[in-house]
Structure 1
Amino acid sequence: MSDQTDTPGIDTVIVPRTRDLGGFEVRRALPSARRRMVGPFIFWDQMGPARFPSGEGLDVRPHPHIGLATLTYLFDGEIMHRDSLGTAQPIRPGEVNWMTAGRGIVHSERTDPALREDGASMFGIQAWVALPKRHEETAPGFVHLGSDELPTIEGEGKRVRVIAGTLWGATSPVPSYSEMIYADAILEAGAWLPIPAEHEERAIYVAEGTVSIADDRFEAGRLLVLHPGDGVTVEAVGHARVLVLGGEPMDGPRFIWWNFVSSSQDRIEAAKADWQAGRFDIVPGDEREFTPLPEG
């Protein structure tokens, strides 16, 4: 589902598909029928905002990935990440979990038991970044970065954290495998955010509030895909929060099935067989459960 727009500089407006996972809402903007990828970003989920009932929380059981890196970034709440490398790392607002699947990794994402008693909250973005062909079979890895390790630009009514890549003269330490940009901008009413045009593929995701571009307004939950080469300026209508994402085009199309991404359909079939046969590594500390391979 997409909105039509004649706004200068905007190519497509994508309205995410919404799924209710039992009191926990997820909005998926990528992939969509109108746009499969923006730069290396092949998957874009807004998680929440939600507050779980007392005693409940997020429970994403161990599941596999290949051919991608996951990038988790929270506005509110906390997630405990565990993976088959032995990592056990909580992520909190403003921090980054960058997990490289490469040739194969398994991970789980849960709310820590200590946070469930009073009812945990959750609001954030999980993105998948497709790996270039030369890195699809790289060794799996995991990097956690605290909020104080990410460059922040403040002033003129805005606070911008550069999550990945280089924007507005600031460079993130996230070890990406291709040219990409990703930033979180909190804007006061009337603040302006110029989006540079040096990256071929770019998009703006409105996470909170309403923004104006060339006198057209866009509310929260919209992915605005920009025209290549066109500079765009975002103005906040009241308090707003937007994410800027994109980068160089991927080196060819990608297949995506369940949690697997690859330039080769045969590689995805092999990963399906490996998960079905139990050939992926287990997640230490979360060995009792797993996510079955979907049918079909």
Structure 2
Amino acid sequence: MSRDVPIDPRQHPELETLIVTRTRDLGDGFEVRRALPSAQRRMVGPFIFLDQMGPAVFRSGHGLDVRPHPHIGLATVTYLFDGEILHRDSLGMVQPIRPGEVNWMTAGRGIVHSERTGPETRAAGGRLFGIQTWLALPKQHEETAPAFVHHAAETMPFLEGEGVRMHLIAGALYGKRSPVQSFSDMFYADMALEEGAGLVIPAEHEERALYLAEGTVELDGTEFGVGELLVFRPGSEITLRASAPARMMLLGGEPMDGPRYIFWNFVSSSKERLEEAKADWKAGRFAPVPQETEFIPLPEEPAPVRYP
């Protein structure tokens, strides 16, 4: 849906912010929507970046090619609804990422990875649809050792009933806890609602948001749709209903332990640490990704931005 009329927050006491994303074509018909960071809201709990990838259909011989690039100070989660991505990193990990699986990459003091369409999928062509998030690490863990952990879809907690299906990705929600090791009090869940199904979002976490990837939901008589991020006020339960079959991500957690600066793929509580990372990437001091010869150069951009 396209929202032309701004939401009046006085009509929605539970709603703190509404972020309406726009699609951006990266070429070959591959579109992304960026919900975080935005001018209206920089972070929700530890979540400092949220991109929707696709849905896209690649022709035979085409696919995703994100060349090796570095990260510090964060953890990444690439979560797919459809398709497959081949992950490679500087730890030597090679892992296909498929729908429902959880692949948690901790950058810590520094990691490099690539994200590509694998050779078999590229030859056949296929779909790609998913969400990529970055979670800023607490200060005491910003320089932790890099790591990559894969969790099969069937090992993750599920809840199903009354037209609602939850796949818990990380943290704790609705009495379930994910086996994924996180670094702060947070939650992240894939929710699917049948048309007419209701959902109550509990108030147990201080910062909470809902991102609509498919369908529409109704809150206080207003419909919200694809590409909208609803950030809720603390302290009250949220009750909504799917006015069409919907797929959404619930996310949030405790506020971060201070502001974060972000430059390109680097996140840190220290501007000086970002400058160090930039110099290290320029000088080739990050560990390389085995089997990869390409890389993304450091962009020339303004000074780091402070969030929040």
TM-score range normalised by the length of the shorter chain: over 0.9
The aligned counterpart of 1:291 is 296
Residue 7 of structure 2 aligns to which amino acid in structure 1? Q
2:204 to 198, 203, 211: 198
CA deviation profile, 1:54-108 (whole Å, cap 9, x unmatched):
2000000000000000011000000000000000000100011100000000000
2:16 to 11, 17, 23: 11
1:37 to 23, 34, 43: 43
CA deviation profile, 1:142-176 (whole Å, cap 9, x unmatched):
01111111100011111111111110000001110
2-side partners of 1:88 and 1:133: how far apart? 29
2-side partners of 1:117 and 1:289: how far apart? 21
The aligned counterpart of 2:214 is 208
Structure 1 residue 18, shift from structure 2 partner: 2.8
CA deviation profile, 1:232-254 (whole Å, cap 9, x unmatched):
01211121111100000000000
2:230 to 207, 224, 227: 224
TM-score normalised by the chain length of structure 2: 0.94
The aligned counterpart of 2:80 is 74
CA deviation profile, 1:174-194 (whole Å, cap 9, x unmatched):
110001011111111111111
Residue 294 of structure 1 aligns to which amino acid in structure 2? P
CA deviation profile, 1:220-239 (whole Å, cap 9, x unmatched):
11000000112101211121
CA contact (8 A) 2:22 2:227 kept: no
Alpha-carbon RMSD across the aligned residues, in angstroms, is: 1.2
Residue 293 of structure 1 aligns to which amino acid in structure 2? L
Count matched residues.
295
CA contact (8 A) 2:48 2:133 kept: yes
CA contact (8 A) 1:111 1:120 kept: no
1-side partners of 2:22 and 2:145: how far apart? 33
CA contact (8 A) 1:208 1:240 kept: yes
Residue 16 of structure 1 aligns to which amino acid in structure 2? T
CA deviation profile, 1:8-32 (whole Å, cap 9, x unmatched):
3111110124321102101000000
Query: Comparing 16-25 with 67-76, which one deviates more in the overlay?
Result: 16-25
State the secondary structure of the residue aligned to 2:243: strand
Q: Does 1:243 align with 2:249?
A: yes
CA deviation profile, 1:192-224 (whole Å, cap 9, x unmatched):
111000100000011100001122110111000
Q: Does 1:135 align with 2:135?
A: no
State the secondary structure of the residue aligned to 2:140: helix
CA contact (8 A) 1:62 1:290 kept: yes
Identity among equivalent pairs (%):
67
Q: Does 1:117 align with 2:123?
A: yes
CA contact (8 A) 1:4 1:12 kept: no
2-side partners of 1:270 and 1:116: how far apart? 37
2-side partners of 1:152 and 1:41: how far apart? 22
Q: Map 1:37-76 to 2 at 5 A.
A: 37-76=43-82
2-side partners of 1:46 and 1:3: how far apart? 22
CA contact (8 A) 1:82 1:89 kept: yes
Structure 1 residue 3, shift from structure 2 partner: 4.0
CA contact (8 A) 1:187 1:236 kept: yes
The aligned counterpart of 2:305 is none
Structure 1 residue 280, shift from structure 2 partner: 0.1
CA contact (8 A) 2:21 2:35 kept: yes
1-side partners of 2:70 and 2:22: how far apart? 23
Residue 75 of structure 1 aligns to which amino acid in structure 2? F
Spell out structure 1 runs of 4+ moving beyond 4 A. Answer: none
State the secondary structure of the residue aligned to 1:274: helix
Structure 1 residue 268, shift from structure 2 partner: 0.2
Residue 85 of structure 2 aligns to which amino acid in structure 1? I
State the secondary structure of the residue aligned to 1:238: coil
1-side partners of 2:195 and 2:21: how far apart? 25
Structure 1 residue 118, shift from structure 2 partner: 2.6
CA contact (8 A) 2:78 2:132 kept: yes
Q: Does 1:274 align with 2:285?
A: no
The aligned counterpart of 2:271 is 265
Q: Which runs of 5+ in 2 are unaligned?
A: 302-308
TM-score normalised by the chain length of structure 1: 0.98
Residue 18 of structure 1 aligns to which amino acid in structure 2? T
1-side partners of 2:240 and 2:99: how far apart? 24
Structure 1 residue 113, shift from structure 2 partner: 1.1
